[in-house]
Structure 1
Amino acid sequence: MNSIFHYSILQYHHSQALGEVLNIGLLLWFPEQRQVIFRYPSRLGRISKLYPSFPEKTIKSFFRGITAKTLQLNKKPDIFIKYEQQAQLFPDHEILIRDSSALQFGDVKTGVVYTSDLSKIADDFYWLFLASYDEEETYRGRHDEAYLLTAFKKNLRKRLQGRISRETLDRPITVKPETTGLVYQFPFAWQNGTYNLVKPVSFDLKLQQSITEKVTLNVGQFTVLRPYAEQHNARFDVLVARPKDRGLYKPYDQAVQLLADLPHVKIVEEEQLDSYSEKTAEALR
């Protein structure tokens, strides 16, 4: 007999009076396998165009928080036993407390585990409920480090209206941590109380192992640079891009969380480049 899983749609209640409800995320949990998975769209541009007041930045912050919570719960398998007879309580008690806010989980439904690959089930149900968000990305080219850096610099020059030269933008910053003999280069730096060193790190890759190797390399680098950051009041602003392959979202989220947990590291996801460029421009003005 196949085991079962439960799922619930994360909904944004845009207008209580008009009954406008937008499906923006999907939570699945597997009691027997003691696993929970959260899937969400990487881009919310379509909603923002339809609803100018849609709090995109806040919603994405919730996405990151929910993802972090699922990673914590997957390390506590006994928690799933508590909800074996009360599955409908799991999302509100363990993921997002139900209150009067616009963001809530919908009704809990049940499905049959039809493959041992739980990520495939999550992907299948994502495409069933949320596929429309990804249609605009179907033909997206690879967003590598060069793409991230170019997008950042383009946004910055636009906001500064040419008041920063290309030579300044293209002049790399060399960092030499004391006592190590090592040398690191960052393509750009700016200051607003802290000395912010910008580094693009793209996870738009094809293999999970590639993501693992890349995050391991960068965790090592920022660990070596920690004394430098403490001595120079520095921060490392890491511009990241997610993979096109939705099946790699989980290792991507784990990689980004590993970097975010490091001291003196700030993560700037691709969708945050506009607001980050604006903050940089304000400091440079």
Structure 2
Amino acid sequence: MNSVFYYSILQYRYAQSLGEVLNVGVLLLFPEQRQAVFLHPERLGRIRKLYPKFAERTIRSYFKGIVARTNQLTKQPEIFANYEEHPRQLIDNEILIRDSSALQFSEVKPSVLYTDDLSAIGDQFYKLYLSFYDEDEYRPRHDETYLLKDYKQLLRQRLDGLLSSKAFEQPVTVKAKGTSLSYQFPFAWQNGSFNLVKPVSFDLKLEQSIIEKATLNVGQFTVLNDYAEQRNARFDVLVARPKDRKLYKPYGQAIQLLANQPRVNVVEEDELEDYSRKTAEALR
């Protein structure tokens, strides 16, 4: 007898009175494998064009919370046993409360587990429900220049002329103690700790390139650890994810490598707005 898995669509009710509903995510529940997987689009530009008042920041916050919760559930397989016959209750009690808010999961539907490759099922469901977001939308490569420009632009908007243009173009050079090595950081700011900002883009085409780039930067921060300890410094690493969804796993491993360093703070691209706000508050 074939195993069964369940799926539910995360829907955004943009105008409930008009019945306008957008599919913005897919939740897959695999009871026998004790796994929960949440899929969502990274690019929301097509929605912004259709609905200018679309609450993108709120939606992205929900995405992040649901991903964190499903990852946690997968690490706690005993929880699935409590909901074997009631997958909808698993969603309501453990992932997202069912209420009158605009963002809700649809009714749960069963499907036959047609392959043991759960990632292949995820890819197929993404294409079925969410590929709309990736079609016909040009996205330039989000390299280090792009990241830094985006961050500085957000910061300038928040500071509204309180800092001169020159202040944004004063890189900081840091020398590693006991060596002839030196590293340049394009921006720095102070708020108790001395925060050295460095963009590191993982918007690359090969898995090996992503891991090698992360390893190279880990080595740099290891060399600068004594400097950071002595000056109460922190390395704020602005990162961009790859376009190709197949590279999300090595990307996750890369940012975990960086985050495991004692003086490194990883700032993902969708967190830039909040990070620029904290920078602006400190600089004021």
- Aligned to 1:130, what secondary structure does the other structure show? helix
Q: What residue number does 2:236 align with?
A: 237
> What is the CA deviation profile of residues 114-172 of structure 1, one whole-angstrom value per residue up to 9, with x for unaligned ones?
333222211211111111111244x434333243234445666788679313xx65543
| Structure 1 segments unaligned to the other structure (5+ residues) | none
- Preserved CA contact (<8 Å) 1:123 1:247: no
Confirm or deny: 8 A CA contact 1:194 1:233 kept in the other structure: yes
Deviations, residues 32-75 of structure 1 (Å, cap 9, x unaligned)? 22222211111223323433433212221221222222222222
- The answer as to 2:184 corresponding to 1:185 is yes
Correspondence 1:1-285 to 2 at 5 A: 1-137=1-137, 139-153=138-152, 163-165=164-166, 169=168, 171-176=170-175, 183-192=182-191, 194-219=193-218, 221-222=220-221, 228-229=227-228, 231-253=230-252, 255-256=254-255, 259=258, 265-273=264-272, 276=275, 280=279
So what's the TM-score if we normalise by structure 2? Answer: 0.79
* 1:249-283 CA-partner distances (Å, limit 9, x unpaired): 24434544564576654443334546655765676
Structure-1 separation of matches of 2:211 and 2:198: 18
Q: CA deviation at 1:217?
A: 4.5
Alpha-carbon distance change, 177 to 118 in structure 1, aligned in 2, over 3 angstroms: same
Q: 1:98·1:104 contact (CA, 8 Å) conserved in 2?
A: yes
Contact 1:34 1:80 in 2 (8 A): yes
Specify the SS of the correspondent of 1:235: strand
Gaps of at least 5 residues in structure 2 are none
Q: Say whether the 8 Å CA contact 2:177–2:224 is kept in structure 1.
A: no
Q: Which amino acid aligns with 1:108?
A: V
Give, as a single letter, the amino acid of the residue that structure 2 aligns with 1:236: F
Deviations 1:175-233 (A, max 9, x none): 34657886443222233554321111112223334434444444565566566546544
**Percent identity over paired residues:** 66
Q: Distance in 2 between matches of 1:133 and 1:122?
A: 16
**Counterpart secondary structure, 1:119:** helix
TM-score by length of 1: 0.79
Q: How many residues align?
A: 282
Shift of 1:245: 1.0
For residues 17 and 229 of structure 2, the distance between their equivalents in structure 1, rounded to whole angstroms, comes to: 51
Question: Quick one: which amino acid aligns to residue 188 of structure 1?
Answer: F
RMSD, matched Cα: 3.4
SS in 1 for 2:82: helix
